Every structure is written in C-alpha cells, then in structure tokens.
Amino acid sequence: MQDLQSLETEITAKLAVATSVGDVENIRIAELGKKGRVSLLMRELGKMTPEEKNEFGPKLNQLKNTLNAAVINRKNTLEEETLNIKLQSEGVDISLSAGSGDNGSIHPITQVLDEVTEIFTEMGFSVAEGPEIEEDFYNFTALNIPEEHPARQMHDTFYFPEDDEGNRKVLRTHTSPMQIRTMLEGEPPYRIIAPGRTYRNDSDATHTPMFHQVEALVIDKNIHMGHLKWCIEEFCKKFYERDDIKIRFRPSYFPFTEPSAEVDIGCSFKDGEILIGEGDDWLEIMGCGMVNERVLENVNLDPKEYQGFAFGLGLDRAAMLKWGIPDLREFFTSDLRWLKHYGFQALDIPSLSTRNSSIKRGK
C-alpha cells in the first residue's frame, strides 16, 4: 500500500499549481473519481484483514476528506482570482476625461412648443391633449361645420375609409376639436391650451402635410373680446420678447367663432428676410374669436350663462418667424446639418428646457 502521506503531498502539490477550475476538476476525477488512486485504495480495504482495516480505514477516510476539502478550496481561490481580474478590467477609471462626444439638440418645433406652453401655463392655462385620428363630429360637425358646409372645403382633409356605420374618421385638420372634447368632458370654467400635430393635404414652402397648432379656449361667465385681445397681446409680447410689438385684429370668418378675427403682427420684409417688431408690413399669425353660440349649444352650455374665446396658432409658422427660418418643409426632412444649425442646446436638466426662452442656438 502506497504511503498515504506521500500521496497526499503529491496530489496537494498538483492542486496548488492548477491554474483553472477545469484543471482542478480534472485532478479530482483522476485521483478521487471512480477510477482514481484514492478510490482504488478504498477498494483494496476489502481484501484486508480486520486489523489492517482498522488501521488503514480511518487513515484513508481522512485522506479522502482532506483531498476533497483541498479541491474545493483551490476551486474557490481560482474563482475569486478570476472575478478579481474581471472586476479590475471592467473598473471605471474616473480620472479619465470624458471627451466631448456628439451632443444632440432640441428641434425648433419642440423648443417653440415648450416656450408657448410655458407662457400659457404661467397665465393659468392647463394643457389638454387629444387624438390625431379624429371623428368627423369633433373635427367638423360640433364646430358648426356640418356636412355640405363650404368651410369643409377650406381644409384639404385626409379621410379614412368609411367604417361599417358609414362614418369616416379624419386626420384632424386643426386642434379645434379639442375645444369640443374639453367642453364635453368637464364642467366650466375652462382655460386650456391644446398643442399638437395637425394634417392637411397641402405642401409648399409655407405648408407641410403635417404641421403643428396650439389651440386655446377660455370659457367662463362674462368673458368678452377685451379678454381675448389682452391674452393674445400678452402672449405675443412674451413670445417675441419685445414690449413694443404691433398687433392688429382683422375681421375674418371661422364657423366656430362669432365674431372672428385674424391676428397680424407688424414686421418688415427686407431682402427676403422677415423682421418682427419693425416696419409697416403685417403678417398673419393666428385665427381667433368669440366661441360661436351654436358651438356652445352643441356642448350643452347655455350661451346666456357662459361665453368665451378661442384661438388657433400655427406653431411651425411661429418658429419660422421667431428665428427667420425660410422654408417650412425643412423642419421635417431630418437633415442633421440643418438640425445642428437651427437646433437648440438642451440645458443640463432636460425638463428645464421649457423654462428658459433665451436658450442659445447651436452653431
């Protein structure tokens, strides 16, 4: 019988130089596995006399336990070493400089939307949102534009195919349906703005099939045109960041307001450039009016008790004017060079991008 002590020393030495968990496992199988030397010795116990068994049995068991423990130990050590190496290689070196990287920018429309929302929420308006795929009822009928009404032709509408009940949904042609949705959902008074995408089948330098509007609606007791004028003037001063801005209310027609007006702001056209706040030219920026009594009746309000005003502002147009962007279509072509030129730098805290109307424009 081999000297158990030398066997232990030999196997322990092999384990000590094993460099991977796999190597350790191979040694275990070779020495302690079914056909391993330790197991063979165990088998020899059977052939021994009771006295020999008494002497060798406990020693062999002891050897087996010691070697099993040594295997586990070595495996643990190797696993720990591997983990440490991995942790070291994955560690973040916080002393390295971060490099400049590629910064994104805020799209001018998003910027304008943030600014407009900021101005109106400061005035006490809340923001309402609604579907872009709209029912005919909200987009037209309830706004006093019944079927066959000539005003339907004013909008080049994208229609969906008729459903089983003969109704055709539309891509909303304006944000005005949000007036109806708001008034049918809650109780007056209402003081909301509804920004969002709108769609018309139209495309040239000043029209894109998808564009953006902000609707505003105020309904309460004793609301009159003075409120409407003040509200729009206040907005224009804040949005264009000048107090001396010239504003003109020009009589107009919208089926959902009576009286109706279009709002122009004073500007000058010089060498193909528009300058706001100077010169003798006028530029239309929105439609507005006192909410038509018929619309109030359509949403079950008594026009003798409640009145109000509404207006609809073209956001893309507002952005073009504010920053002198000549062609509306470029807003939506996703040309990175254009976006870098006209885009805005985000503040470090993104939610604050709505808080500062003088955010610097990117180079």
Binding residues (CB under 6 A) for ligand DAH: these are 174, 176, 215, 254, 257, 287-289, 310-312
For ligand DAH, give the closer residue by CB, 266 or 314: 314
Residue 176 CB, shortest distance to ligand DAH, in Å, is 4
**In the bound complex, what is the minimum distance in angstroms from residue 257's beta carbon to ligand DAH?**
4
Task: Give the 3-state secondary structure percentages of the chain, helix then strand then coil, rounded to 5.
Answer: 45, 20, 35
Closer CB to ligand DAH, residue 31 or residue 262?
Answer: 262
* φ, ψ for residue 118, nearest 5 deg: -60, -45
Spatial separation of the C-alpha atoms in residues 254 and 155, rounded to whole Å: 12
**CB closer to ligand DAH out of 63 and 310:** 310
CB 265 within 8 A of CB 247: yes
At 132 the three-state DSSP class reads: coil
Q: How far is the CB of 243 from ligand DAH (least distance, A)?
A: 25
Closest separation between CB of residue 93 and ligand DAH, Å? 56
Q: For residue 298, what are its two tokens?
A: 């359509």
Residue closer to ligand DAH by CB (options 115, 262) is 262
- H helices of 196-298, where? 225-240, 293-298
Nearer to ligand DAH, 105 or 208 (CB): 208
Least distance in angstroms from the C-beta of 174 to ligand DAH: 3
Residues 6+ apart with CB under 8 A from 101: none
Residues counted in the chain: 363
Smaller CB separation from ligand DAH, 28 or 155:
155
Longest dimension (CA), the chain: 124
- 303 with 297: CB under 8 angstroms? yes
